[in-house]
Structure 1
């Protein structure tokens, strides 16, 4: 009888080593990395359940990334990878799978064959991880960067995911570690070893790399070199104030004595950036894609508009190299929210925060902005596209 197999996909990282933008939502070959990672499990004939673990607050972008792929409802992760894995295991407890595979969403290249081998190894050994023989000489370094040992590399392996276990022993090991305050494990096989489980190594895949920094993207250099059609376009938006207690600017909710009036959430920054991106690829403007006459967009969150425009760039084979916005307002003060806005815009557009600039200026009390009747935003977007043939 075939064992019941579940997969925990850990997608709760913050992207701290990826420029402050969660790498799992960056695009690779036209697809979000997290979608590519999960799709192989979703299409595997021996995977019965997929349990995603995501950051709190990422539900919408995760759902958008996985549109059309069925999984169990995503659960929020914890402050560490270990806590996130346990959250996924606890969510699966009621389903009582026989085997669980734990996989990092930042590894989008795992093949169906590797998944099959992981399941077989778990059936045979109870705990098994894919590993690769080390090809470089490894040094153990002490104080002052002095070499103190050179291990025999024939006995060394670098390990990958999916790591495969019998479900009940792994869940028990995670619970025990949590009860004893052991929260430093960055690898489930290490936690299993600590709990007394025997862990076997099976052959991994050289192509199953983990994306940690932008340079790990296989097309990060070659593709950009081929994108020689560099385009820059501008966008502009303005909205007046009405009664309210907050404004949306750059995807961030900011307390204020008024709110901006509009058919959607009236986020002038995201609207201007959307128009700038659409202009760069000569694809109309925000009104042509999201007309205010269409009731489905009433009160809509403007992150959907910017995400749409960014996706249109990627569909053309392009990349976004810069998003720059200037707010024209007397209040609220933008400075305290600048970094949050940059991070949110980067997340929506699928780029790193170092490619987003937010500036602000007052109108020296001149005009309708100076009279605090509304807010305007100007934006510039630079994209790189393949040369047209």
Structure 2
């Protein structure tokens, strides 16, 4: 059977370093449209392992708490805290011990850490079950200095092995209750967190990976930064997801005796022609496939099967224009089209600009977003033997702009 888990949220402090506010102490200040406390409670309320939540508040803050949490205030157990954090935590523990079913594991969390996440909570619970106590922590990155009373540097402290402690801190319930009672009995009230009480009592506490964003809101600047962070997250949610996709197309048709070829929409006099059901314009066929590929719409054969007599001798700009329509219907905007023609003859350079203009007209692109290139196959293979002409096309399309 899985260990039962409860959480104590400590919210009885006065938060003097955050300055005065008409909203009350810092746990009731508004960030992202809700009180800090409401954000913190939402995290623990939504965690599937946490069965019971005790919220420890100041005796003067019941009205503030109800206003900050609304209906959620009735879904947690409110306990009145004391003058020191250590007293507040002990009262939360005493409430749980007096309940019908005390938990196996208890998490103790600063209510002014609204950015803890489920993954961190999971790591703490697992390690607390395995070792008896666990806290999330992050390695100290800054160089640490120890100062004298006049703020002169006394020494530089090696930061190897130093970590910044975070919450929630998790413990086996009976062990942390015993540690708190022993500390109270000895008159100790100078512990800075629950892990230090457990350590003092001889319990083992291990570190698990914390989260850089799991910050404690201490000053007015911290609260302003948290509000900005949430505002930016909301803005990102509202912004459309821009999805840029690239499609490729390839086509080849054999050459047979004739008097012209049609490439990229331009008729070019030649002593051969391209053989195909339509006008066999390899450039536009490749472009059609490239466009369709950006939205998973199959290929040219799916939309214009050679078995259908209506496409006999059809001009291939029809295929490109249909692909453009399909892309637009799926919310896409074509960004560019690039076609490489591979042939020994005819010469493409004299017709390149007319080809680019024809493609720009079909796709709605400006001319600087259309590229047509040509290369020979150095007399190698079927292209080199003038048995056929091949084309490779690439198209980029952006989707999601209208969402």
| Residues 214, 220 of structure 1: 8 Å contact kept | no
| Partners of 1:71 and 1:182 in 2: CA distance | 33
* Equivalent residues of 2:7, 2:106 under 8 A apart: yes
The answer on whether the counterparts of 1:49 and 1:71 sit within 8 Å (CA) in structure 2 is: no
Superposition pairs for residues 180-329 of structure 1, below 5 Å? Answer: 180-219=186-225
Number of residue pairs the alignment of both structures matches: 225
Match of 1:75 among 79, 88, 101: 79
Mark the runs of 5 or more structure 2 residues left unpaired by the alignment.
233-403
CA drift of 1:198 comes to 1.4
- Cα 1:190–1:149 change in 2 (3 A) is same
1:212 Cα deviation after fit: 0.6
Q: 2:182 pairs with 146, 157, 176, which one?
A: 176
CA contact 2:32–2:227 (8 Å) conserved in 1:
no
- Equivalent residue, structure 2, for 1:19: 19
CA shift for structure 1 position 115 = 1.0
**1:62 equivalent among 62, 65, 74:** 65
Q: Name the counterpart of 1:45.
A: 48
CA distance in 2, matches of 1:104, 1:221: 18
1:135 corresponds to which of 141, 162, 173:
141
Q: CA RMSD in A?
A: 2.0
Q: Is the 8 A contact 1:52 1:71 kept in 2?
A: no
Return the alpha-carbon distance in structure 2 between the equivalents of residues 211 and 193 of structure 1: 25
The 3-state SS of whatever aligns with 1:48 is strand
- SS of the equivalent of 1:64 reads helix
What is the TM-score of this pair, normalised by structure 1? 0.55
Among candidates 153, 157, 170, match of residue 151 of structure 1: 157
Q: 2:31·2:226 contact (CA, 8 Å) conserved in 1?
A: no
User: What secondary structure is seen at the aligned counterpart in 2 of 1:53?
Assistant: strand
Q: Which runs of 4+ in 1 moved over 3 A?
A: 218-223
1:98 aligns with 2:124: no
TM-score normalized with structure 2 length: 0.53
Q: 1-side partners of 2:187 and 2:225: how far apart? A: 41
Judge conservation of contact 1:53–1:77 (CA < 8 Å) in 2: yes
Report the alpha carbon displacement of residue 146 of structure 1 after superposing the two structures with TM: 3.0
Shift in Å, 1:156: 0.4
Higher relative contact order (CA 8 A, sep 6+): 1
Q: Does 1:118 align with 2:124?
A: yes
Larger radius of gyration: 2
The DSSP-based 3-state class of the residue aligned with 2:16 is coil
Query: Structure 1: any 5+ residue segments left out of the alignment?
Result: 227-389
In 2, Cα distance between equivalents of 1:120 and 1:97: 15
The aligned counterpart of 1:164 is: 170
More moved, 23-32 vs 64-73: 64-73
By how many angstroms is 1:218 displaced? 5.0
Question: Matched residues in 2 for 1:75 and 1:169: separation?
Answer: 21
